[in-house]
Structure 1
Amino acid sequence: MKKIMIVGCAGSGKSTLAKQLGNQKKIPVYHLDSIFWEPGWKPIEQNRFIDKQKEIMEEPAWIIDGNYGSTMSIRMKYADTIIFLHYKTTRCLHRIIKRRIQYHGQTRPDMGEGCKEKLDWDFVHYVLMFNKNNAPTILDKLNSVKEKQIYIIKNPKQLKHFSLD
């Protein structure tokens, strides 16, 4: 397992898990948010975003965290392991609020430079609707994938006992 893709709702802990696995397995970690967002919360041009991901995926080993549905199939093609943190909405909401307080006025380490932590209604709505709108699509994609290790983690207790040995 050298090419690991981590997806899940905002606040599920994708970046934290990516960092932990990267340290444990000595594999480079890439956060899609830090690639997609340029200073001031300006999105990168879509073709550049795809090209940057393809460059990473050509490397012998990587861990990539983030959803970005428009490029998820590309990552799935290259990944040998896919982890879906499929947590309850309330847990993710709690975590994004906690994160907003923790990083108030700062840029998170897994975020694009110059993108100070923020919390707006669109983002809260995204989290509120993730399990209804996004999770079914992710699960459908995972069900169509062959010859990959797929893990669907539903709570922190499961994650605590999770291992990629």
Structure 2
Amino acid sequence: MERVVILGRGGAGKSTLATALGTATGLPVIELDKHFWGPDLEPTPHDLWSIVQGELAAEDRWIMDGDLGPHDVLEVRLRRADTVLLLDYSFPRCAWRALLRSRENADFWRWVWSWRRRYRPLLLDAITAHAGNARLHVFRSPRATARFLAQHS
């Protein structure tokens, strides 16, 4: 496990998992939100986001956490991944965590609400198409995620 992509609904705990896994494995953590969103929360343009991700993914070892929904260009990092972790937690769990974390805009809540029905199938298709050789782990609960993390600590 050298290049890990962490995906999931907003509020699932992608950054928390990335930090814990980075500590356990010594892999550097790249929080994609910090590279994607501008100072006024404007998204990086699609073409530029592909270039930025390409530069980040060119490194030999990393954990990239982030799921940018309709703004994302998944294939860039998926092509380099050897491991994909998908946090497939329930809407109530993620919504509660998101509420505790910060105020979010209406677009965020539409994405979180429709994630399992609309975006999860797109993610799985992208993983199949661009990360066919990567090991895919789908976690439906924090307990399952904790078991995985314990095995890699």
Q: Give me the whole-angstrom Cα distance separating, in 1, the residues matched to 2:99 and 2:43.
A: 23
Within 5 Å, which residues of 2 pair with 1:1-165? 1-68=1-68, 70-100=72-102, 118-144=103-129, 145-163=131-149, 165=152
Name structure 2 gaps, 5 residues minimum. Answer: none
| Cα distance, 1:67 vs structure 2 | 1.8
CA RMSD of aligned residues (A): 1.6
Q: State the SS of the aligned residue for 2:148.
A: coil
Name structure 1 gaps, 5 residues minimum. Answer: 101-117
Q: Give me the whole-angstrom Cα distance separating, in 2, the residues matched to 1:157 and 1:98.
A: 20
| Cα distance, 1:139 vs structure 2 | 2.1
| Cα distance, 1:120 vs structure 2 | 2.2
CA contact 2:2–2:60 (8 Å) conserved in 1 = yes
Q: Which has the larger radius of gyration?
A: 1
TM-score, with normalisation over the residues of structure 1? 0.83
Q: State the SS of the aligned residue for 1:87.
A: coil
| Cα distance, 1:3 vs structure 2 | 0.3
Distance 1:87 1:57, change over 3 A: same
Instruction: Please identify which structure carries the higher helix content.
Output: 2
Q: Could you tell me the percent identity over the aligned residues?
A: 31
| Structure 2 residue identity aligned to 1:78 | R
Q: State the SS of the aligned residue for 2:60.
A: coil
Paired residues, what number?
A: 148
| Structure 2 residue identity aligned to 1:43 | P
For 1:35-81, what per-residue CA distance to the aligned partner results, in whole angstroms no more than 9, with x for missing partners?
11111112223322211211111111011011235411121110000
TM-score, with normalisation over the residues of structure 2? 0.89
The answer to which of 6-15 and 121-130 deviates more is 121-130
